[in-house]
Amino acid sequence: MTLGQQAAQQTTEASAAQQVPDAPRPQVSLPTRDSIRPGMGTTTTSNGDQPAGQDQAPPSSLPSSAAQEKLDDGPPPELPAAGQGPGSFTLRVQTNFVEVPFTVKDNKGRLVPGITWREVRVYENNVPQRISLFTVDPWPLSVALVIDQSLTPDNMTKVNNSLSALQGAFAPYDEVAVFTYNNGPRMRTDFTAAQSPRLTFTLETSKATGREPYMNMGGPMAQTNTLNGRVFDPNTAPVRNSPSIELKVPKEVHTLNDAILEAAKATAKAGKGRRRVIYVISDGKEYGSQAKTKDVIHYLQANKISVYGTLVGDSSIPVVGFLDKIHVPFQMRDNVLLTYTNATGGNLEAEFRQKGIEQSFQKIFEEVRTQYTIGYYTHEPFIDGKYRTLDVRVLRPSLTVLAKKGYYPTASDAGPTNVVTPKQ
């Protein structure tokens, strides 16, 4: 009996011990931050995946401000290493990639360095775009130099004396073509090395005497057949006893549009990976060209060409230059060059002294060489050929952004690009 009672008591204690639940065990491994993905929900399987058919639980709280800022900026763009430039940027399929160079200046006109990609916003047709490329490395330049030879002799002399300082503004890896225009454009040399003797010889032979302005035909020194409003030579009178012969002064010809178009046709052939620039030294006057201004701007925007220039002559005077900038309604614009620079993201320096003209060369090309470059993949189809507006903004106060106002997509942008990665 005693052995039976002890056996029964041990059986009862064992069953009671089995009914008591174990204490919670500590979790050996917690899920890491990288193992949690959006949309996994609250219930997961043993391998961390969400079971099929499981509904996704909505978030229980709004994202923090840091998360919202990261969502707005998107993933960081590809940042090439210093010195490699945009050539190291690998494009998988370049069917809708858009490059936008831009310059940032403060309220005193000085270049602003140190802008980061998080401070830049780009809008195409008023729609924000996600930046895929951001670089500050300089690009090799393909510059078409356009020299106005229809200037007055005094202004032409200043330009001729300053051309010797132009070649020093280029780098050895740049290439330059030279065009001149008076009654029509003329190519002096095709693209050649910026430091070559050929360019030196071309600049020297591109000097001209300028054009004498037409005199007022009604003045006392004018060579006419009228005196005091009466014809003094009866043989030239069209009608007997007629008062006088009205002599009309022909208008001066300044084929600026034709010259920029010819330079743009040559610059459009520059290879990829080069900055295409047309640099004009002129007074900005236009008359007598066959090409229209809007058509030339269309060609420039479609071929990614920027127009820069040094303004000389009467248009460089501060008062006249201010009137050209504000463009009084119903008044003709004496400086057409300002329209080109605004539409293509270029800039203009107005100088009426020889030393100022020489210094403007260095200032302009320093600005071109220190541009920021951003790139993005547009959602618009490239095959439509429609004009797209561009708006580049920097999230800093009191800054001015110089960038092109828009672009036209071309067939060359719709094809894939074979990218060659440079050797390290």
Return the pLDDT at 14: 52
pLDDT the model gives residue 180: 95
Q: What CA–CA distance (Å, rounded) separates 300 from 264?
A: 7
Q: Which residue has the tokens 């591109």?
A: 206
Backbone angles phi, psi at 359, to 5 degrees: -70, -30
CA atoms of 347 and 363, how far apart (whole Å): 10
Q: Where are the domains of the chain?
A: 74-138+370-424, 141-212+252-369, 215-249
Sequence-distant (6+) residues with CB within 8 A of 334 are 284, 285, 314, 315, 320, 324
**Residue 151 Cα distances to 160, 166, 359, angstroms:** 11, 19, 20
Asked if 74-138+370-424 and 141-212+252-369 have one fold, the answer is no
**The pLDDT of residue 421:** 43
Tokens 């050209």 sit at which residue? 324
Are 307 and 269 spatial neighbours (Cβ–Cβ below 8 Å)? no
CB 334 within 8 A of CB 326: no
Fold annotation for 141-212+252-369: Rossmann fold (3.40.50)
Q: How far apart are the first and last CA of the chain?
A: 93
Residue matched to tokens 């693209």? 191
pLDDT per residue, tens digit, the chain (424 aa), is: 455 555 556 555 555 555 555 556 655 555 665 665 655 555 544 444 444 444 454 454 444 444 444 445 666 776 777 666 655 555 444 457 889 999 999 998 899 999 999 999 999 999 999 999 999 988 899 999 999 998 989 999 999 999 999 998 999 899 999 999 988 999 999 999 999 999 999 999 999 998 866 544 444 444 555 555 565 566 655 565 555 445 555 677 889 999 999 999 999 999 888 999 999 999 998 988 999 999 999 999 999 999 999 999 877 776 555 445 544 444 445 689 989 999 999 998 888 888 989 999 989 998 998 899 999 988 887 667 789 999 999 999 999 999 999 998 876 655 444 444 444 4
Could you count the other beta carbons within 10 Å of the beta carbon of residue 19? 6
Distance (Å, whole) CA 144 – CA 190: 9
pLDDT for residue 279: 96
Closest of 203, 206, 205, 139 to residue 168, by C-alpha: 203
In this structure, what token pair is assigned to residue 424?
A: 């390290």
CB distance 177 to 190 below 8 Å: yes
- Three-class DSSP category at 293: helix
Task: Write down the CATH number for the domain with range 74-138+370-424.
Answer: 2.60.40
Please report the pLDDT score of residue 378 as a whole number: 87
Q: What is the DSSP letter of 270?
A: S
Alpha carbon of 23 to those of 13, 20, 168: distances in Å? 19, 9, 83
**Nearest Cα residue to 131 out of 102, 170, 162:** 102
Contact 174, 142 (CB under 8 A): yes
Provide the whole-model pTM.
Answer: 0.69
pLDDT score for 34: 60
Secondary structure of 68-135 in HEC code, one letter for each residue: HHHHHHCCCCECCCCCCHHHHCCCCCCCCEEEEEEEEEECCCCECCCCCHHHEEEEECCEECCEEEEE
| Closest alpha carbon to 308 in 286, 280, 274 | 280
Separation of alpha carbons 91 and 97, rounded Å: 9
